[in-house]
Amino acid sequence: MSELAYMTIAEASRLIRAKKLSPVELTEALLARIAAIDGAYHAYIAVTSDLARRQAEAAEAEVMRGTWRGAMHGVPYAAKDIFDVTGTATTCHSKLRMNHRAAGDASVIARLAEAGAVLLGKLALHEFANGGPTLELPWPAARNPWNLNLHPGGSSSGSGVAVATGTAPGALGTDTGGSVRNPATCCGVVGMKPTYGMVSRAGVFPLAFSLDHVGPLTRTVEDNAILLQAMAGHDAADPTSTRRPPADFSAGIGRGVKGLKIGVIEHFYADDLIAAVEQSAGIAVAIDVLRRLGAEIRPVRLSPLQRYTECGRTILMSEAYAVHERDLRERPQDYAAITRHKILPGAFIAAADYLRAQQLRRVLCAEFAEAMREVDVAVTLSSLDMPCRIDDAETIAKTYERQMRMPFNVTGTPAIAVPTGFTANGLPTAMQIVSRAFDETMVYRVAHAYCEATGFCDKHPPVKMLQREAAPAV
């Protein structure tokens, strides 16, 4: 079971296509692993075992007949419980939606089903992708796979934990202010926020309409490109969906970085705010690795980090309040306090302030686009701090303000978090690799070269065995 648990999407895909690996065998191994260990990690809210078995059996029958739908055919994945799946609850990890049942699939779930992928279950998150780990919620909070006492990042917490613990080779998350890249950073996996509009958000419960992105979390960069390829594409059901056909995200992924110009947005973490020593040390070594691989390193200067963050926060809070206004008036007691306290301030943001933030956003987008004309990609930190205790709400709240992910939600441009090493006490550190809109292919090329040179993606957390009941099957 352990060999199959950490099999990559790419390897599983090749073996399934060659009829050397059964999708049913792989799915059963992962379902068994979820049952054996997820009681300690709480990555899953619900395990869709019946659906997974049906999809795996159908994929296997098709492959045996010689039908091949693509690289995700017969390969399992899991989804943050913010995506609609027909007949199951889209709970958003909230008491308000415990009795919800989806009438149809989110477009990205339907696209993956068409690709022949196998859905293992629905994953934990911060309530409505905006709260935090708290005992007030109906299901336990996901735990950091490297230390169960620590926060795993959010809001796509279960997505990062499932991938890191080998209970899913890939997972779907959403990212409004960093919610794919934060758990990827804390859990030592790869998390991509693609260009705004690249992946449909139809059937995904919104947090902030103009900042929300859907993105994949995986253990390797190659796997991330494969999963995004199966997810991306125009969707008429999403008015913000781009009509631009997705690139071949794996094209040139093995070309290396020799001759590329890589910018470093150092002032974000060295001047605007000061990063923890471990995070700064990790990215410094990573930059040296890229230099040794043949890249030209040069500085990139943008507006202060705080300007990007304040712009994004004003937009997020205004739009989140618009989403939740009715429920906050009618059922405020059913929100966790941490979620309520995050959303309510949006009621007091004036329309003029929201409009000014959107105007500033256009200025910042233009600034970033101009800066990226001089480089192929840029790197900066993801988090300023290391994960703190999961029961330390005050420190967790501070860490959400001390990060460099929001700028790239404001610009809507691709950003990937990849591990940069491990601290003396075994916790992962990470950086972001970012580029201009629709240049995911270049981001993946640089990320792959770096990760292949360092081997950090091959390291897995020590597995803790069952401590509590696993998530229920649905």
Catalytic annotation on 155? yes
The one catalytic residue among 13, 22, 107, 155: 155
Q: What are phi and psi of 269, to 5 degrees?
A: -110, -5
The one catalytic residue among 13, 49, 80, 210: 80
SS3 state of residue 37: helix
Q: What are phi and psi of 40, to 5 degrees?
A: -90, -25
Picking from 434, 215, 132, the residue whose alpha carbon sits closest to that of residue 308 is 434
Sheet holding 261-264, edge to edge: 44-47, 118-123, 76-80, 170-175, 213-218, 190-193, 415-422, 428-434, 377-381, 261-264, 296-299
Picking from 43, 35, 45, the residue whose alpha carbon sits closest to that of residue 91 is 45
Catalytic annotation on 210? no
The one catalytic residue among 179, 200, 250, 383: 179
Alpha-carbon span 240 to 49, nearest angstrom: 33
Is residue 167 within 8 Å of residue 403, measured between CB atoms?
no
Q: Which CA distances in Å does 341 have to 222, 351, 449?
A: 39, 20, 42
Tokens in use for 211?
């900042």
Catalytic annotation on 80? yes
Q: Which CA distances in Å does 27 have to 38, 63, 84, 111, 254?
A: 16, 15, 21, 19, 29
| Catalytic positions, written as ranges | 80, 155, 179
